Amino acid sequence: MAQWRSYLSHLECTACGLHHDADQLQTVCTACGKVLFARYDLDGVRQAVQPSNFACRRWDMWRYWELLPVRDPANVISLGEGLTPLVHVRREAAAVVGLERGQLELKDEGQNPTASFKARGLAAAVSRAKELGARSIALPTAGNAGSAAAAYAAAGGLASHLAMPRDVPELNRVEADVYAAEVTLVDGLISDAGRLIREMAPRNGWFDVSTLREPYRQEGKKTMGIELAEQGGWGETCLPDVIVYPTGGGTGIVGMRKAFDELEALGWIGPSRPRMVVVQSEGCAPIVRAFERGERFAEPWQNAQTIAAGLRVPVAIGDYLILDAVRETRGTAVAVTEQHIREAQLEMGRLAGVYAAPEAAATWAAMRTLRRSGFLSGDERVVLFCTGMGLKYPAPVA
Amino acid sequence: MAQWRSYLSHLECTACGLHHDADQLQTVCTACGKVLFARYDLDGVRQAVQPSNFACRRWDMWRYWELLPVRDPANVISLGEGLTPLVHVRREAAAVVGLERGQLELKDEGQNPTASFKARGLAAAVSRAKELGARSIALPTAGNAGSAAAAYAAAGGLASHLAMPRDVPELNRVEADVYAAEVTLVDGLISDAGRLIREMAPRNGWFDVSTLREPYRQEGKKTMGIELAEQGGWGETCLPDVIVYPTGGGTGIVGMRKAFDELEALGWIGPSRPRMVVVQSEGCAPIVRAFERGERFAEPWQNAQTIAAGLRVPVAIGDYLILDAVRETRGTAVAVTEQHIREAQLEMGRLAGVYAAPEAAATWAAMRTLRRSGFLSGDERVVLFCTGMGLKYPAPVA
């Protein structure tokens, strides 16, 4: 039985490069305020483990413990996050959205605890925060991150404090209640909720686990990329040609890019990368606009409105990291209409047997745009990220 | 890479023993009308595979393909069912329900596709029905089985026809719509819906996949038992001391008993068995009543009423199989109140970070009863089956 060991070495600022001690609670760069990344002793990892070792380990994302930040497994708060399936979409269904000859797969993150990909990041962040002494956590949320944060806090015996727009999906509020979170409702968007948390957290001794404002949610998200490599059998050709990702705060894309870089440094995958496609709603598309304008930082979006609560993020602290990832991989960024999102929910259900959240359905809707524009030829292996389950949202109607 | 091969040999009646051909569509015993079980060439399985081989395979229940009925993997309709986590409940939380020194774990079946354990049985049944030529399926449902059936039919390109009580949880009806099932609403219970399906299915050429009225849903459920063995590391002591199971149609208990018998015959586990505990609601407890009366068959329950839709099953075709399993393992059967079910939903959320369906919360509620009665000493390793996610049901209120 292999011994648990994290090879976490330090934290590094993604903008100015300043190093920070990984073994105390940190938020953003103390010098420039930008995002901190966890760094690992990859030489140590390479000597300790080979890709084939992972298969025999536990059935959750913690099987990749060498590349995760928790030092003592007793501090891991796990509800079974990760190891989500790549659901194969039958040929006739894939053809409907323009993939006549290729292969269409759905990474079904709705099968995570609390029914969304948010479980990964918050399992990592809450576990590590507990390890470093935090007794309560706080965050602003558009819905699903709050549900996940509250669940992991409850499982680990920590208190949780959420700030969320008054109009988040009702079932996210129910979840917060069931997990006994303290909730503050805000008349505004997640960015307004974020300001509130940044004001209240230090005053009350809550540890702030906002997206990319602490270094470890990112590490949980990273496991989506590691899993794609394992599901593809590791090596030069294990990754899909294209990843289509619904983008709010964008940590999924940023995390997978980081995963692929680490795996390449370890020699476990080759240098080629999936083309990364950002999908947003026409009601809130700051990254798409910045991509089209050739800018590295995205201007805040005014009057953000979309049924896809998780895409209603007018400003993303990691905008430059997302846009870098898209451009480096010759990807693209597309916005879809609200109407197409609703239609896509029904079409995915009817043709693929997956009831996806509107965010996830946006990726299905984007397929036709990508094919029509020539970005896709119809021969590719494409993975759509179904970041969450449809059940929490108002029902789509035919 | 190991080659896919099912060692399915024939079907056998659980009551009269009559053999039936496994390679055509079958329902119940053609002689006596009782339940058919799938039988395997276990000598063949023993020579083909060892328990340690499974770890390197796919991340769903089909990794146990030798012991499953689908002959050609191309016929498998998979949404990623199975390989659900055993969620560890922290010591202080376990103590609250009377397990001060033992170990409490939740098998979180809510992380299956369509958010319940029903995915397993219907993945197996719909895949095998497709393999044997069915083009449409039908079943009566209290909610979650219908959602799963409709999803697998959609993913596989089959039509689905559901009959359900008018008052099933609303989100089950939404799911049926999203998966484009044809739904008939019934003023009555699942038993009334069942009569309707048995009348309509033959007339319309639908294949009836009602619980235990075809042999393969059982085989999907069986994988819950195989997984417990794999999660425990195989061998003499891999299984928990006690399994607490919310019982409607009872296929989970029946399936796990069958799994353990097959695994023992293979030499992969020892002769000891977890004590099986049936949990029902006081509003519908036919199996508990039969257990207490020492009867092998359960009388139909009159005026069945419970918030736990999946437990509102007044008559179970597999009653004798459930009761045999409970008695053989020195288990027991307990009923809990509706009020305790609702309180347990909140307590599980707050202490364990799992938002469970009322059926699943009933197992948590039963823990105190089991401890108080002396059935549990507080030292055991206990697994509660969380058969489904809480989101689809009306919110519990404090």
Tokens of A164: 């969320």
Average pLDDT over residues A325-338: 97
What is the tens place of the pLDDT at every residue in A104-158? 999 999 999 999 999 999 999 999 999 999 999 999 998 899 999 999 999 999 9
User: Whose structure tokens read 């990368």?
Assistant: A273
Q: Helices A217-231 & A251-265, crossing angle to 10 degrees? A: 60
Q: How many of the other CB atoms lie within 10 Å of CB of B10?
A: 15
Could you give the C-alpha distances from A77 to A127, A131, A278, B10, B308, in angstroms and in order?
5, 10, 31, 45, 29
Q: Residue A220: is its pLDDT beyond 70?
A: yes
User: Quick check: A113 contacting B, CB < 8 Å?
Assistant: yes
Question: Cα B191 to chain center, whole Å?
Answer: 18
Question: Residue A315: its pLDDT value, please?
Answer: 86
Is the pLDDT assigned to residue B335 strictly greater than 80? yes
For the segment A315-321, the average pLDDT, to the nearest whole number, is 89
Nearest Cβ partner for B178 among A52, A55, A355: A355
Strand partners, B8: B40
Contact A71, A6 (CB under 8 A): yes
Tokens 């058919």, located at residue: B36
ipTM of the complex in this document = 0.96
Using DSSP's 3-state secondary structure scheme, residue A392 falls into: helix
Q: Residue A293's pLDDT band (boundaries 50, 70, 90)?
A: very high
**Sequence-separated contacts (24+) of A32-37 with Cβ below 8 Å:** A35/A212, A35/A215, A35/A218, A35/A317, A35/A318, A35/A321, A36/A11, A36/A12, A36/A214, A36/A215, A37/A11, A37/A12, A37/A13, A37/A215, A37/A218, A37/A258
Chain B residues close to A355, C-beta within 8 Å: 114, 151, 175, 178-179
Maximum alpha-carbon separation in chain B: 57
Query: Could you say which residues from 298 to 317 on chain B have a Cβ atom under 8 Å away from some Cβ of chain A?
Result: none
Contact B393, B358 (CB under 8 A): yes
Helix (H, G, I), strand (E, B) or coil at A205: coil
Q: Looking at beta carbons, which residues of chain B come within 8 Å of A85? A: 59-60, 78-80
Q: A309 pLDDT band (50/70/90 cuts)? A: confident
Q: In the prediction, which pLDDT does B190 show? A: 87
> Residue A354 and residue B90: Cβ atoms within 8 Å?
no
Termini Cα distance of chain A: 53
Q: Which residue has the tokens 């058969």?
A: B387
Would the CB atoms of A353 and B171 count as touching at under 8 Å?
no
Token pair, residue B202, equals 């033959």
Whether A314 and A302 have beta carbons less than 8 Å apart is answered as: yes
Residues of A in contact with B174 (CB under 8 A): 391, 395
User: How high is the mean pLDDT of chain B?
Assistant: 96
SS (H, E, C) A27-43: CCCCCCCCCEEEEECHH
Q: Is the four-CA dihedral A45, A49, A50, A54 of positive or negative sign? A: negative
pLDDT at B398 over 80: no
Q: Is A353's CB within 8 Å of B79's CB? A: yes
Q: What is the pLDDT of residue A288?
A: 97
Give the mean pLDDT of chain A. Answer: 96
Judged against a pLDDT cut of 60, whether residue B272 lies above it is answered with: yes
- What DSSP designation does A111 have? G
Average pLDDT (B244-271) is 96
Inter-chain touch A59–B180, beta carbons under 8 Å:
no
pLDDT level of residue A189 (50, 70, 90 thresholds) = confident
Instruction: Report pLDDT for A87.
Output: 98
Section A45-61 average pLDDT: 96
Residue of A nearest to B111 (CA): A111
Smallest CA-to-CA distance from B218 within B262, B245, B258 is with B258
**What does the pLDDT average to over A175-187?**
96
pLDDT by residue (tens digit) across B167-181? 888 999 999 999 999
Q: Tell me the C-alpha distance between B32 and B35, whole Å.
A: 9
What number is the average pLDDT over the span A334-354?
97
Shortest distance, CA A195 to any CA of chain B (angstroms): 27
The predicted structure's pLDDT at residue A203 = 96
Per DSSP, the residues of B102-167 read SEEEEEEGGGSGGGBTHHHHHHHHHHHHHHTT--EEEEE-SSHHHHHHHHHHHHHT-EEEEEEETT
**H-type alpha helices, A232-372:** 251-265, 286-293, 319-328, 338-352, 358-372
For residue range B183-219, list pLDDT tens digits in order: 999 999 888 999 999 999 999 999 999 988 899 999 9
Residues near A95 by Cβ (< 8 Å), separated by ≥ 6?
A: none
In whole angstroms, give the CA distance from residue B146 to residue B190.
11
* B151/A87 Cβ within 8 A: no
- Would the CA dihedral through B149, B150, B153, B155 be positive or negative? negative
**Whole-structure pTM value:** 0.96
The residues with which B145 forms a beta bridge, in sequence order, are none
Residue B1 has pLDDT above 70, yes or no: no
CA dist list (Å): B282 to A136, B186, B286, B323, B334:
39, 24, 9, 18, 9
Whether the CB-CB separation of A161 and A146 falls below 8 Å is answered with: no
Secondary structure (3-state) at B15: coil
Q: Give SS3 for A398.
A: coil
Asked whether the beta carbons of residue A350 and residue B180 sit closer than 8 angstroms, the reply is yes
Whether residue A1 is predicted with pLDDT greater than 60 in this model: the reply is no
Cα–Cα distance between A188 and A46 in angstroms, integer? 47
Q: Does A63 touch chain B (CB under 8 A)?
A: no
H/E stretch holding B336: strand B332-336
> In chain A, where do the E strands start and end?
8-13, 19-20, 36-40, 86-88, 103-108, 136-140, 159-165, 182-186, 207-208, 242-246, 275-281, 332-336, 381-386
Q: Where does residue A265 fall: left (phi above 0), alpha (psi -120 to 50 degrees), or beta otherwise?
A: alpha
User: Is the CB of residue B215 less than 8 Å from the CB of residue B14?
Assistant: no
Q: What counts of helices (H) and strands (E) characterise chain B?
A: 12, 13
Residue B16 · residue B29 · CB < 8 Å: yes
- CA gap B197, B210 in Å, rounded: 9
How far apart are the CA of A362 and the nearest CA of chain B, in angstroms? 16
Which residues 131-170 in chain A show a CB within 8 A of chain B?
A: 150-157
A91: number of Cβ within 10 Å: 14
Answer whether A153's CB lies under 8 Å from A205's CB.
Answer: no
Of chain A, the percentage scoring pLDDT greater than 70 comes to: 99
Scored b (16 or more CB within 10 A) or e, B216-239 reads: bbbbbbbbbbbbbbbbbebeeebb
For A108, which of B80, B86, B180 is closest by C-beta distance? B80
What are the tokens at A291?
């991509």
CA distance B238 to chain A (A): 15
Token pair, residue A329, equals 């991989």
| Strand B242-246 relative to strand B381-386, pairing | parallel
Reading the block at residue B390, the tokens are: 């809480």
- Rounded CA gap, A62 and A82, in Å? 8
| Residue B388 contacts A where some CB pair is shorter than 8 Å | no
The verdict on a CB contact (< 8 Å) between A391 and B115 is: yes
